[in-house]
Amino acid sequence: MSSSAPTTENATDNATATAPEPVSFREAFLFWLKLGFISFGGPAGQIAIMHQELVERRRWISERRFLHALNYCMVLPGPEAQQLATYIGWLMHRAPGGIVAGVLFVLPSLLILIGLSWVYVAFGETTLVAGLFYGIKPAVTAIVVQAAHRIGSRALKNNVLWAIAGASFVAIAGFNLPFPAIVLGAALIGVIGGRLSPEHFRAGGAHGKADKSFGPALIDDATPTPEHARFAWPRVVRVMIVGGLLWLVPMGLLAGVFGWQHTLTQMGWFFTKAALLTFGGAYAVLPYVYQGAVAHYGWLTPTQMIDGLALGETTPGPLIMVVAFVGFVGGYAKSVFGPDSLFLAGAVAASVVTWFTFLPSFIFILLGGPLVETTHNDLKFTAPLTAITAAVVGVVLNLALFFGYHVLWPQGLDGDFDMVSALIALGAAVALFRFKANVIHVIAACAVVGFALRLSMA
């Protein structure tokens, strides 16, 4: 198996007959660092980059093992691309390799977003920044509509799943039900429906079959599972204890030093819950973040939430890194360290939010990885997860309407309809749906248009 010839036209024709040399920790470190700076394009683009680099070019892992790991990461809550990097890093170089891969996938984005967030809150009223965001906001609305369409086209395979999506939309838009309640309700429907009518809850959206070979890989189909990746109860207990302490100690320090109701403590608690609800990707959890960060805690305004998503779309790393913007703006606005330390407040809040958002992802990989490695059969979505994914479509559609309302009627329904923003949004939608334009290119073009219009009106 490990020396088989390429089986598809896409396979590398001149694949060598021998597997690559073992990869040193230093070499892997440098690759994960590079990936952290080039991981644009959302999860699809990030996974494509990893596939091209790790499966096709470097042959660190085979196609089948890569897809097997990806299917597991898709089942988990959290950013699947970051979890996939963590998984492969762990498989190659034990826990330190997984931690390095996962951290470096996020760290560049965190540092960039802290800088951009500071520019935003400190200079957001200037003509340059205000003009850029005037064009970006309609583009973001179109991007979220595209996300709803993309998730829906993959998830809504029958009338039952369409009904779940419609019910979730009504629940959040009409009754303002909290996102966790919608997730739990959808999961319950999936559990019952999977038993009574399994044909309506069969998983779709698998990431393709592992029928390609790019030559022998370092971790090939027949490569034995390394000792550190084999299931053992002592390892499970150790990961649970260490992971629990990594959550409990920072949370305890925040509560002990600042009090439970302090902004930083509440951010840690809120984003811990958010991290466990990100089934379906970042767009699925954004309504929950909005409900908490905007409506309940008042850490930022609806307009700032839209601007934060725009910044998240234009930086490397997982889109869920928009939570770093939420943390920075919230810490800055609440002056958690006093009026003379606003930047420090924002930077610390962004770091706190990032820590509690991503910690569960590392625990999931280090806990579940050995179980996944015990069998190399493809993992399937469960019926509850299928139902949750369908519900996510309705939630994301509501998010698109929320963004559209605040962009097209910036002063509320009693104010004027912003025709210019509507035309920019329409142009962005045509570029995304008709011409399949790159998201970053669309945002950049709309930013230039917005700046030019604001400059002409100044």
Least confident of 52-61, 259-268, 378-387: 378-387
Which residue intervals of 409-438 are DSSP H helices?
419-433
The predicted model scores a pTM of 0.78
Q: What is the mean pLDDT of residues 230-256?
A: 96
Asked if residues 362 and 341 have their Cβ atoms less than 8 Å apart, the reply is no
| Dist. CA 269–CA 78, nearest whole Å | 16
| Dist. CA 156–CA 419, nearest whole Å | 33
Using pLDDT thresholds of 50, 70 and 90, give the confidence band for residue 3. very low
Q: What is the mean pLDDT of residues 134-145?
A: 87
252 or 369, which is more confident:
252
Q: Is the pLDDT of residue 146 over 90?
A: no
Task: Give the tens place of pLDDT for each residue, 398-452.
Answer: 878 888 888 899 888 888 999 999 999 999 999 999 998 887 788 889 989 999 9
Which residue intervals of 59-158 are DSSP H helices?
63-75, 80-123, 127-155
**Sequence-separated contacts (24+) of 4-7 with Cβ below 8 Å:** 4/213, 5/213, 6/212, 6/213, 6/214, 6/215, 7/211, 7/212, 7/213
Q: Is the pLDDT of residue 249 over 50?
A: yes
| Dist. CA 23–CA 20, nearest whole Å | 8
| Dist. CA 280–CA 395, nearest whole Å | 11
For the stretch 289-317, what's the b/e string if a residue is b when 16 or more beta carbons lie within 10 angstroms of its beta carbon? bbbbbbeebebbeebbbbbbbbbbbbbbb
Q: Is the pLDDT of residue 74 over 80?
A: no
| Dist. CA 445–CA 452, nearest whole Å | 11
- Per the document, the length of the chain is 458
On average, the pLDDT of the chain sits at: 86
Using pLDDT thresholds of 50, 70 and 90, give the confidence band for residue 5. very low
Q: What is the mean pLDDT of residues 352-381?
A: 82
Q: Is the pLDDT of residue 326 over 70?
A: yes
87 or 66, which is more confident:
87
Task: Supply φ then ψ for residue 36, to 5 degrees.
Answer: -60, -25
Using pLDDT thresholds of 50, 70 and 90, give the confidence band for residue 54. very high
What's the longest Cα–Cα distance across the chain?
70
| Dist. CA 332–CA 337, nearest whole Å | 9
Using pLDDT thresholds of 50, 70 and 90, give the confidence band for residue 1. very low
Share above pLDDT 90 across residues of the chain, in percent, rounded to a whole number? 47
154 or 410, which is more confident:
410
Task: Give the tens place of pLDDT for each residue, 270-306.
Answer: 999 988 876 656 666 777 888 899 989 999 998 899 8
Query: What pLDDT was estimated at residue 205?
Result: 42
- Count CB atoms within 10 A of the CB of residue 456: 8
Task: Give the tens place of pLDDT for each residue, 168-213.
Answer: 999 988 998 877 788 889 989 988 988 888 888 875 444 444 455 6
Query: What pLDDT was estimated at residue 378?
Result: 40
How far is C-alpha 226 from the chain's CA centre?
29
| Dist. CA 109–CA 282, nearest whole Å | 15
Report the half-sphere exposure of 401 (CA within 13 A, side-chain side).
11
79 or 89, which is more confident:
89
Using pLDDT thresholds of 50, 70 and 90, give the confidence band for residue 41. low
| Dist. CA 193–CA 129, nearest whole Å | 50
Domain locations in the chain as residue ranges: 25-103, 109-209+232-457
Query: What pLDDT was estimated at residue 6?
Result: 42
| Dist. CA 125–CA 123, nearest whole Å | 6
Closest listed residue to residue 293, CA positions, set 350, 245, 338: 350
Query: What pLDDT was estimated at residue 379?
Result: 39
Query: What pLDDT was estimated at residue 376?
Result: 54
| Dist. CA 403–CA 399, nearest whole Å | 6
Q: Identify the burial level of 421 via C-beta atoms within 10 angstroms of its C-beta, where 0-12 means exposed, 13-18 middle and 19 or more buried.
A: buried
| Dist. CA 78–CA 280, nearest whole Å | 8
Report the half-sphere exposure of 297 (CA within 13 A, side-chain side).
26
Query: What pLDDT was estimated at residue 204?
Result: 47
6 or 302, which is more confident:
302
